[in-house]
């Protein structure tokens, strides 16, 4: 969708970003606990560019994820993926998965897909910022620069019922006060950075008056 926006428009918006301070994992109302979960992907290194396959320029499937041990007492795991560089007031939510079993240690490629009311083992794929279930493939505007896609995994002490198809606000309310530990993984993606950004000229000096 956003691949059709001219790169010069993306350049004009380059300083308009939601901000990393608005990510769920740094919300001042959350207490993250002392444990750190080792979250990674066999498809890309932390801080590296996402392969095109996982974006709107490719197949648009979700990337594989793996993680290490979780804290004792973990009842379930929850994942949210956000883009804090989106030209919006809040980070764009690309995926939510709720109620992952505590013994789960991986998500296969393409696992984040619409699942209606959830799967038989209790896990539920929530709504992205386009109000659809499943993975929202990275689709940054041309010329807007590099975007971070921040994968945030939380180990929870209990699993409250937040209903089917939870969104970001429901996710945030549900994990508050229940976090035993968290993991973080960042992938990047951009479009049109090599393309020259055309200058924008106002129609005469009178426009500045």
List CB contacts of 43: < 8 A, sequence separation 6 or more.
50, 51, 53, 54, 63, 64, 109
* Domains defined along the chain, listed by start: 2-9+27-193 (3.90.280.10)
Please report, in tens digits, the pLDDT of each residue of the chain (209 residues total): 444 433 433 343 355 678 888 999 999 888 887 899 999 999 999 999 999 999 999 999 999 999 999 999 999 999 999 999 998 888 999 999 999 999 999 999 999 999 887 776 778 899 999 999 999 999 998 888 899 999 999 999 998 777 767 788 889 988 999 999 999 999 999 986 644 333 333 334 333 33
Q: What pLDDT shows up at residue 15?
A: 58
Task: Kindly give, in sequence order, each residue whose CB lies less than 8 Å from that of residue 5, ignoring residues fewer than 6 positions away.
Answer: 141, 142
Q: What is d(CA 159, CA 78) in angstroms, rounded to the nearest whole number? A: 9
Q: What is the pLDDT of residue 193?
A: 60
CA distances from 182 to 26, 27, 38, 171 (A): 11, 13, 8, 14
Q: How far apart are CA 139 and CA 125, in angstroms?
A: 20
Q: In the prediction, which pLDDT does 96 show? A: 95
- Going by C-alpha positions, the residue among 46, 166, 39, 30 that lies closest to residue 98 is 166
Which one-letter DSSP state was computed for residue 185?
A: E
- Answer yes or no: pTM beyond 0.95: no
The set of residues, in sequence order, having a beta carbon less than 8 Å from that of 48 and lying 6+ positions away, is 187, 188
Task: Output the DSSP codes for 167-181.
Answer: -HHHHHHHHTT-EEE
How high is the pLDDT of residue 166? 73
Given this model, what pLDDT does residue 34 score? 83
SS3 annotation, 93-140: EEEEEEEECCCCCEECCCCCCCCCCCCCCCCEECECCCCCECCCCCCC
């Amino acid at each position: 969708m956003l691949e059709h926006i001219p790169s010069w428009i993306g350049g004009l918006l380059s300083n308009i970003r939601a901000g990393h301070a608005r990510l769920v994992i740094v919300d001042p109302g959350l207490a993250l606990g002392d444990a750190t979960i080792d979250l990674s992907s066999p498809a890309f290194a932390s801080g590296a560019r996402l392969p095109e396959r996982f974006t709107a320029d490719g197949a648009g499937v979700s990337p594989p994820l793996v993680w290490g041990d979780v804290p004792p007492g973990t009842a379930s795991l929850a994942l949210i993926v956000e883009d804090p560089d989106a030209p919006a007031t809040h980070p764009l939510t690309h995926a939510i998965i709720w109620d992952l079993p505590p013994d789960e240690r991986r998500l296969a490629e393409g696992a984040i897909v619409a699942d209606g009311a959830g799967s038989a083992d209790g896990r539920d794929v929530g709504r992205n910022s386009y109000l659809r279930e499943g993975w929202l493939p990275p689709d940054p505007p041309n010329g807007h620069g590099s975007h971070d896609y921040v994968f945030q995994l939380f180990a929870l002490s209990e699993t409250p019922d937040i209903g089917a198809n939870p969104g970001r606000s429901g996710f945030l309310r549900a994990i508050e006060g229940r976090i035993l530990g968290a993991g973080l993984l960042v992938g990047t993606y951009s479009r049109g950075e090599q393309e020259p950004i055309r200058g924008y000229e106002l129609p005469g000096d009178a426009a500045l008056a």
